[in-house]
Amino acid sequence: MSHVFPRHCHAQLPTAVGGEGVWLIDSEGRRYLDGSGGAAVSCLGHGDRQVTEAVKAQLDKLAFAHTGFLTSEPAEALADLLIAHAPGDLDRVYFVSGGSEATEAAIKLARQYWVEKGQPQRSRLIARRQSYHGNTIGALSAGGNEWRRQQFGPLLLDVSHIDPCYEYRDRQEGETPQEYGIRAAEALREEIERVGPETVMAFIAEPVVGATAGALAPAPGYYQRIREICDEYGILLILDEVMCGMGRTGSLFACEQDGVNPDILCIAKGLGAGYQPIGAMLCSAAVYDAIAQGSGFFQHGHTYIGHPVATAAGLAVVSAILDRDLLSRIRQKGEVLQTALEARFGQHPNVGDIRGRGLFRGIEIVADRDSKAPFDPDRKIAARLKKAAFAKGLICYPMSGTIDGQHGDHVLLAPPFIITDEEIAILVDCLDAAMQEVLGAAE
């Protein structure tokens, strides 16, 4: 009997024993194509020697030094590299161990910023429905996924949730994508006015929504208008690129493609590429200075922040992305994947939308293409697709929508950046076989 506490208590999981490129191997010798990189984690694939050597070398040199006393060479070098490529005036990097820690730190930094600025009445966070920012209490409060929040309601912070930018579902007839983008962004202004501008501290959003909406990119102009509204009311903009960042969408930071600069930016997953648990929160000089010139102490911290081995892994990963010119590869292979998905599923009666950027792609599953009605949640389409794909040797990331069943099911694909055309074809074949098993064949 296993003593590991698994996510699904009754699941009998195969034991992973190895990884090679885009493949994972279990103890029975079965091979699985890692079509979602875990959940957008394994961006360099498995067994990348440059990263494993960097991790081993750092372990031999220095495993740990507490950041209350000492910094370390890899943490300094990784911060320098990230800031050299970061959008806007992001100037400081706060290392953590994962995505929830990054968003949790961002929420606390935003709050402390306003306390230091002498505006302690600013404590309200505005976020979006159908979003995910992590599973710790603050991060979960920010997230808009009802299924994840449901039983923790009494513990959660009072966060406002506005509608996401969801062109496939919400753009009206006759409205251009740009017009829709502006209209969707104006929901932020309405909420600020509703709750009182003087009480709002920050707005948080994922530039390209991952887990809860399946690679949902914003309409053109959405984030520019969001930035304008934040500036107008003096509100901090926090972008959560935990899933969509680190090259996943074809630019090192996803927000670069929307011409928007955040005050605080969260990254994780692809930063360590699975070789080490690491995340980071980047903030602007103005935010940092408010603390540095105020109390001089960010009232936050965890034992493992800035871990030397984790930052050494992150340094090797980001260097690999940049030095191997993986960003252009992501854009190119992303087009190959999108084209293959459209060719295979474009006419499928249960495929409503195929979308995304770079190697971050989503398929929205619907019961009816014309009405866009989702499947009844009781049919558990996402869970069945996940199981069927896994049985056929494909790891992908099907998720069902909110608990009210409003937006149904989708499949998220986020394969390693090294995926080849042949492997993309295998991925699409396996997914097709799973779709046929669960939904029937496309005509």
| Contacts to ligand PLP by CB under 6 A | 39, 98-100, 103, 132-134, 206, 210-211, 240, 242-243, 268
| Burial environment of residue 252 by CB neighbours within 10 A (0 to 12, 13 to 18, 19 or more) | buried
Closer residue to ligand PLP in complex, CB, 155/441: 155
Helical H segments across 283-380, by residue range: 285-292, 308-323, 326-345
Smallest separation, CB 41 to ligand PLP (Å): 8
Name all contacts of 260-263 with Cβ < 8 Å and 24+ positions apart. Answer: 260/87, 260/207, 260/223, 260/224, 260/226, 260/227, 261/87, 261/88, 261/89, 261/90, 261/227, 262/87, 262/88, 262/90, 262/237, 262/238, 263/202, 263/230, 263/236, 263/237, 263/238, 263/287
Closer residue to ligand PLP in complex, CB, 311/350: 311
Closer residue to ligand PLP in complex, CB, 242/290: 242
Classify the C-alpha dihedral 322-326-328-330 as positive or negative.
Answer: negative
Angle at 401 between CA 209 and CA 45, to 5 degrees: 50
Distance CA 229, CA 299 (A): 28
Distance of CA 422 to the CA centre of its chain: 26
Smallest separation, CB 145 to ligand PLP (Å): 10
Question: Among 82, 125, 417, which residue's Cα sits nearest to residue 278?
Answer: 82
Residues 6 or more apart whose Cβ sits within 8 Å of residue 440: none
Closer residue to ligand PLP in complex, CB, 48/101: 101
| Burial environment of residue 306 by CB neighbours within 10 A (0 to 12, 13 to 18, 19 or more) | buried
Smallest separation, CB 295 to ligand PLP (Å): 27
Contact 98, 270 (CB under 8 A): no
DSSP 328-339: HHHHHHHHHHHH
Smallest separation, CB 279 to ligand PLP (Å): 6
Amino acid at residue number 153: G
Distance CA 428, CA 384 (A): 17
Closer residue to ligand PLP in complex, CB, 265/268: 268
Closer residue to ligand PLP in complex, CB, 133/189: 133
Closer residue to ligand PLP in complex, CB, 181/277: 277
Smallest separation, CB 242 to ligand PLP (Å): 3
Smallest separation, CB 260 to ligand PLP (Å): 16
Closer residue to ligand PLP in complex, CB, 206/263: 206
Closer residue to ligand PLP in complex, CB, 313/367: 313
Smallest separation, CB 231 to ligand PLP (Å): 24
Smallest separation, CB 97 to ligand PLP (Å): 8
Question: Among 326, 146, 351, 353, which residue's Cα sits nearest to residue 249?
Answer: 326
Question: Among 92, 73, 44, which residue's Cα sits nearest to residue 322?
Answer: 44
Closer residue to ligand PLP in complex, CB, 132/166: 132
Measured from each CB, the residue nearest to ligand PLP is 99
Closer residue to ligand PLP in complex, CB, 279/377: 279
Residues 6 or more apart whose Cβ sits within 8 Å of residue 69: none
Amino acid at residue number 114: W
Distance CA 165, CA 217 (A): 8
DSSP 368-411: -TTT-PPPPGGG-HHHHHHHHHHHTTEE-EEEE--TT-TT-EEE
Smallest separation, CB 135 to ligand PLP (Å): 6
Smallest separation, CB 143 to ligand PLP (Å): 8
Smallest separation, CB 176 to ligand PLP (Å): 28
